[in-house]
Amino acid sequence: MNSQVLWYTTRAAGVVSLILFTAVVILGQLARLRVASASWPRFLSADLHRNLSLLSLVFLAIHIVTAVVDPFTSLGIAPVLVPFSSAYRRFWLGLGTLALEITLALVITSLLRTRVGLRAWRLIHWLAYAAWPIAVLHGLGTGTDALSAWSLGVTIVCVVAVIAVTLWRLIAAPSDPLSGARRLAVERHRTIPQ
């Protein structure tokens, strides 16, 4: 495969991943806020959040595979697995590897949600708030066209959207009707096979 095609594919998959993961973060926040209306039921946010998460992983895999096989970067597989081990843009690629590993932790615990319990799943899911900005920094530092007008515009829109929804969540977060011992009792009841 031509190196230029790989470059375009890597960049395009990275940008699409950014947009999709931004939507995932926003939908996760909206689901937590229990946002709903007659035309947008709550289950739609949860289903769309899950499906966009899966689609994001597909584009992330394309981004990683095309970057690894691109002869220009000569990455190999080690930098994908070991943060900050690449000779090519070590710091910025290391951030991408960290974001990937956090994302994998989110995926694995989501698949095992009933086994790890709601409390552990929630604690690990908070890592999404670290993975997303780390991935944004990875894109800004690694992307050869990251500072072009179109790429910077996409990044700015994504960052502003996540910040706006995060602020809205912090301001409008509903109080949790379950607290302390009642929450643990409900969690145990949900995880006990019936």
Residue 104 belongs to domain spanning: 3-191
Mean pLDDT by 10 residues, the chain (194 residues): 85 96 90 69 75 95 93 85 90 95 92 89 89 96 88 96 91 61 57 54
Cα 85 from chain centre: 22
Cα 16 from chain centre: 12
Q: Identify how many contiguous H helices and E strands the chain contains and give both numbers.
A: 9, 0
- Pick from 93, 105, 79, 81: nearest CA to 140: 93
pTM of the model: 0.81
Contacts of 120-125 with C-beta under 8 Å, sequence gap 24+, read: 125/28
pLDDT at 36: 61
Structure tokens at 93: 């690629």
Total domains present in the chain: 1
Q: Indicate the helix (H) or strand (E) that contains 142.
A: helix 128-142
pLDDT at 64: 95
